[in-house]
Amino acid sequence: MKNIMIAFLVLCFTASVGNTTENNIVNKITNHINNEKVKIVEYQKKNWQEGKDQLARNFNTIKSWFVKN
């Protein structure tokens, strides 16, 4: 009976330690994905603005070929 109780306690302790490690890994992956999402959004905002600026410059250049001031 004493051996069964010890085995049961060891099993419970091992299961709880394993869960903590698994949750730690899941948290690291979740944080990594969230950080990458933030980086992507910032990159897209910057490049969209650069694209809009370039489009406006191109439009003004083409317009200047046809309209004389």
Tokens coding 66: 């046809």
pLDDT value of position 50:
93
- Write the single-letter amino acid at 61: T
Report the distance separating Cα 16 and Cα 13, nearest Å: 5
What DSSP character marks residue 1? -
Scan for tokens 């869960």, then name that residue: 19
Residue bearing the bigger pLDDT, 67 or 1: 67
pLDDT value of position 25:
85
Convert the pLDDT of each residue in 11-28 to its tens digit: 666 655 555 677 788 888
